[in-house]
Structure 1
Amino acid sequence: MRLDFSAPFSRFFDLLGKNFALFAGLGLVGVILPALAVSYGLFFQTGFGVYDWTENASNLAPDAWFWLAGGSVFIWFLKMINLSMVTEVAILRAVGKKADLGAAISGALRNIIPIILISIVCGLLVMGGLILLIVPGIIWAIATCVAVPAYVGERGIGIMGAINRSFELTRNNRWTLFAVFLVVLVLFFLVAGVFGMIGAVAMLGGGAVGTDPASASVLSIVQIVNIVFEASLEILSNVFVAALYVCLREVPGKQNPSQAASVFE
């Protein structure tokens, strides 16, 4: 049997509906509030935030680059930790198990380097495929889409083992997964368009961005919108991929009976 197209969406919305407060809390405490604190610190230190400095790169002083680089790396590490934590909690809740937040946090700290390495290997694989003929890159992106959940959910599998496991789980289901991700991509652009309009209205309502208090306030609003949008999107993406991983595990032939309820055991 193959993956049912609607299964990941059903599992995702069920998981999100029953655990919304839990995932919102993880995102708020783990990413949004620290990112806001770092962004405001960078804004008052350099005059630019982590989301608008590229447009003003020529105006940055040498010491500003140090602060921006440090702040960006710190936020990125927070996102990697949150990725592991949300993935573990989502997988546990998806199979009806209780989530231990303390264990999820300690596991996330242990997993950060392996997850970074998995992301790099998968990224290089996809990039190489895109450079070759584009189509192999798309295929490999789909084939490696559940490598991180596989590493988090199947302890001891190792970095390459997680990537191989993702290839195994997605085999014979990649056309279905392509359709699933196509729908997700369309939804992403719709939501991104709404948030883009909110940011544009905030900018138009306050005038041009400058150094006066009014424009600085508008810039802060735009920063908040960007940070909340990006963090929320990443949390939802992590939950969706975790739900997808669980659905793929349940496809007959993708695991032996002893593995059916072996998540984190």
Structure 2
Amino acid sequence: MPFSFGSAYNRFFRLIGDNFALFFILGLILTVLPTLAINYGLYAGLGLQPANWVEKWEGASGSAQAWLAGSGLITLLLYMINLSAITEVAVLRAVGKPVSVPGVLGHALFNALPLVLILLMTGVVAGFAFLLLVFPCFMFLMAAYVAIPAYVSEQGLGLWGSVKRSFVLTRGHRWTLFGLSVVNGIASNLFDKLLEVLGAGLGSALPMPGGLADTLIMSLGNGLSSLAGMIFTAAVYVGLRLSRDKMRPDDAAQVFD
């Protein structure tokens, strides 16, 4: 199937429907519950309200920043572990291979640090591109969109090799990926606004401080948004490989053996 705007969302929703229970368990253990625990700890211990990490950092000082740094590192590692696991599930399902949860988690733990390094590499390059012009920064990010799934799924690429592989897979589809990113960003912002309203309503209705209600609702929402983003990235990668490589079971799944 050719990769397109519609096919990306079609594969995303089909991937969720076919693997809902598995994704629910992985997301709950590796994303939703840790996000709730970390944000509750930051609220209860440091008084930090729900916000992005930059806003939290600016609102903290001294030892609070050390706790924020540690929490951010844990969150990032768990994100990479979950993204690796979801990518492996998506690839194996796409080629009709069975999924072993212990095997998936074992591979994901092994991949976590390299995936963080890939994220840092692409972030540095995107930062330099942004200093030159905004447009090259966005185009680089679209070209490197599936670098992390490529590292997970294709043996022997290495760190920068996975970025180059992403450049190959996304060639001819970067404007489509840009459009998908814009739509997803708008949907995410609308979801955040809904959570703010819901948190405010629960804060006044439940016997708990308003800040705590906001923290719990926003943490749950952030965890779900993060999980959806991982599944979408994996769906895009599988769609690009099927479109460009005509992905075969033996080739696609051998790295997971």
**After TM superposition, is the score higher than 0.5?**
yes
- In 2: Cα distance, 1:130 partner to 1:56 partner: 23
- Which runs of 5 or more residues in structure 1 are unaligned? 208-212
Q: Which residue of 2 aligns with 1:141?
A: 141
Q: Which residue of 2 aligns with 1:195?
A: 195
> Does residue 28 of the first structure (1) align with residue 28 of the second (2)?
yes
8 Å CA contact 2:3–2:239 kept in 1: the answer is yes
Normalised by the length of structure 2, the TM-score is: 0.86
Choose the corresponding residue for 2:227, options 228, 235, 248. Answer: 235
Q: Which has the higher contact order (CA 8 A, sep 6+)?
A: 2
Q: Which residue of 1 aligns with 2:100?
A: 100
Q: Name the CA shift for 1:191/1:47 in 2 (closer, same or farther; >3 Å).
A: closer
Q: Given residue 248 of structure 2, which amino acid in structure 1 is its aligned partner?
A: A
- In 2: Cα distance, 1:11 partner to 1:190 partner: 23
> Does residue 248 of the first structure (1) align with residue 254 of the second (2)?
no
- In 2: Cα distance, 1:240 partner to 1:56 partner: 29
- Which runs of 5 or more residues in structure 2 are unaligned? none
1:178-202 deviation digits (Å, cap 9, x = unpaired): 2222322232222222122222334
* Superposed structure 1 runs of 4+ greater than 6 Å apart: none
- In 1: Cα distance, 2:91 partner to 2:73 partner: 27
Largest Rg, 1 or 2:
1
8 Å CA contact 2:97–2:253 kept in 1: the answer is no
1:128, distance to aligned residue in structure 2 (A): 1.9
Report 1:47-126 matches (<5 A). 47-48=47-48, 51=51, 54=55, 62-126=62-126
Q: Name the CA shift for 1:199/1:214 in 2 (closer, same or farther; >3 Å).
A: closer
8 Å CA contact 1:12–1:240 kept in 2: the answer is yes
Q: Which residue of 2 aligns with 1:210?
A: none
Q: Given residue 188 of structure 1, which amino acid in structure 2 is its aligned partner?
A: S
Q: Which residue of 1 aligns with 2:154?
A: 154
User: Which is worse superposed, 78-87 or 44-53?
Assistant: 44-53
- In 2: Cα distance, 1:169 partner to 1:99 partner: 25
1:264, distance to aligned residue in structure 2 (A): 2.9
Q: Which residue of 2 aligns with 1:173?
A: 173
Aligned residues: 252
- In 2: Cα distance, 1:38 partner to 1:59 partner: 15
1:127-147 deviation digits (Å, cap 9, x = unpaired): 222221111111111100000
Q: Given residue 169 of structure 2, which amino acid in structure 1 is its aligned partner?
A: L
RMSD: 2.7
- In 2: Cα distance, 1:164 partner to 1:105 partner: 26
8 Å CA contact 2:57–2:68 kept in 1: the answer is no
1:31, distance to aligned residue in structure 2 (A): 2.0
8 Å CA contact 2:31–2:227 kept in 1: the answer is no
Q: Given residue 263 of structure 1, which amino acid in structure 2 is its aligned partner?
A: A
User: Which is worse superposed, 13-22 or 42-51?
Assistant: 42-51
| Secondary structure in 1 matching 2:252 | coil
- In 1: Cα distance, 2:205 partner to 2:208 partner: 7
Q: Which residue of 1 aligns with 2:253?
A: 264
- What is the identity percentage for the equivalent residue pairs of Structure 1 and Structure 2? 35
Q: Name the CA shift for 1:49/1:184 in 2 (closer, same or farther; >3 Å).
A: closer
Q: Which residue of 1 aligns with 2:19?
A: 19
1:176, distance to aligned residue in structure 2 (A): 2.2
Q: Name the CA shift for 1:68/1:137 in 2 (closer, same or farther; >3 Å).
A: closer
- In 2: Cα distance, 1:161 partner to 1:169 partner: 12
